[in-house]
Amino acid sequence: MMSNPSRATEFCLSGFPGSQGLHHVLFAVFFLFYSVTIMGNTVIIVIICVDKHLHSPMYFFLGHLSAVEMLTTSIIPMMLRRLLIHEMQTISLTACVAQLFLYLALGTTEFALVGAMAVDRYMAVCNPLRYNTMMNSHTCLSVVTGSWVFGFPSEIWPVYTTFQFTFCKSNVLDHFYCDRGQLLKLSCDDTLFIEFVLFFMAVFIILGSLAPTIVSYTYIISTILKIPTASGRRKAFSSCASHFTFVIIGYGSCLFLYVKPKQTQAVEYNKTVSLLISMLTPLLNPFIFTLRNDEGKQAPRDGVKSCCQLLKD
């Protein structure tokens, strides 16, 4: 722990409190979740690539969303190591910068993709005759490329500014990754202004991508309610239900974590919501988009049948 006002060159991640036995239990649970997350999202990407029935804009966006979800979980292996060896994890300043930047940049990319998927569902339900023309391969590729390009540059300044402060109070981060709020908490400088700037940036990024989602689903719900038959309404809703469920979980947790004026608030609060974002949301992604979607459920079955047929031959 640092006691002099020098610039930190490394940080110690305290992780989770509790006994070694509790840490081993948490390791088993989190390792299971992490394994299922990686396997589930990998299966989604592979199925989308090989199944011609899933070569549509919706699944094109979903494939990239699954890739982002897997990359977002890159903070989990270090957390698992900390639980297994039951000692404070040390991370260099450079690694801390890279970890925070990747985590925030991928999160921003994810928001952009989720907004794009909402607009895609709006076109599919509200403008079905123009859907194939408007959502062609060129448009989809441009939207996905724009989402990735927007996600990374937009987080350069916030991360750069965060690490311009002098962290002299301590070098112990009471978290399982390089959380920005905990970093600002260790600074001896006045961080109030930059916290408000970061707050407004979070509002712009999160609510900026949430706005087209809200508008799209307002029109979608209005259109679905006008469908005369119950089977027609059910079919239209089923094509949007998985995405809508993901929006509620993903945006809900991020709004609680980032859209607040005070970035340095309650540690346990931040840990819980961060765990929800980095582990639970990516874990639920494969189940939400396959179990709530007829095409998603049928594709794995077709894949298994094809593999069995190849083995027989």
- The closest alpha carbon to 164, from 221, 227, 97, 241, belongs to 97
Q: How far apart are CA 212 and CA 143, in angstroms?
A: 14
* pLDDT for the residue numbered 310: 47
User: Which tops the pLDDT comparison, 311 or 279?
Assistant: 279
Name the range with the highest mean pLDDT among 5-14, 178-187, 232-241, 243-252. 178-187
- Say which amino acid occupies 176: F
Q: What is the DSSP string of 16-61?
A: --S-HHHHHHHHHHHHHHHHHHHHHHHHHHHHHHH-GGG-SHHHHH
Residue 6 above 50 pLDDT? no
**66-80 burial by CB neighbour count: b if 16+ within 10 A, else e?**
bbbbbbbbebbebbb
Q: How far apart are CA 85 and CA 80, in angstroms?
A: 9
* pLDDT for the residue numbered 142: 93
Mean pLDDT for the stretch of residues 210-238? 81
Residue 5 above 60 pLDDT? no
Check if the beta carbon of residue 190 is closer than 8 Å to that of residue 31. Answer: no
| Tokens standing for residue 187 | 């600074």
* pLDDT for the residue numbered 308: 53
Q: How far apart are CA 50 and CA 310, in angstroms?
A: 15
**DSSP letter (8 states) at residue 88:** P
Q: How far apart are CA 73 and CA 176, in angstroms?
A: 12
Mean pLDDT for the stretch of residues 261-283? 69
Mean pLDDT for the stretch of residues 167-188? 84
Mean pLDDT for the stretch of residues 241-254? 71
How many other CB atoms are found less than 10 A from the CB of residue 142? 11
User: Which tops the pLDDT comparison, 260 or 82?
Assistant: 82
Residue 41 above 70 pLDDT? yes
* Domains in the chain, CATH or no CATH each: 10-96+111-304 (1.20.1070.10)
Residue 187 CB contacts under 8 Å (≥ 6 apart), including other chains: 165, 166, 167, 168, 169
Cα angle for residues 252, 71, 197 (degrees, 5° grid): 50
Check if the beta carbon of residue 7 is closer than 8 Å to that of residue 76. Answer: no
Check if the beta carbon of residue 125 is closer than 8 Å to that of residue 240. Answer: yes
Q: How far apart are CA 38 and CA 212, in angstroms?
A: 29
Q: Which helix (H) or strand (E) holds 10?
A: strand 10-13
pTM here? 0.81
* pLDDT for the residue numbered 260: 55
**DSSP letter (8 states) at residue 7:** P
Which of the residue ranges 14-23, 136-145, 281-290 would you say has the lowest mean pLDDT? 281-290
Q: Is the dihedral of CA 16, 21, 25, 28 positive or negative?
A: positive
Check if the beta carbon of residue 173 is closer than 8 Å to that of residue 14. Answer: yes
- Strands of the sheet with 10-13, listed across from one edge: 89-92, 10-13, 172-173
Confidence of residue 101 (pLDDT cuts 50, 70, 90): very high
Check if the beta carbon of residue 50 is closer than 8 Å to that of residue 43. Answer: no
Q: How far apart are CA 66 and CA 56, in angstroms?
A: 15
Q: How far apart are CA 251 and CA 253, in angstroms?
A: 6
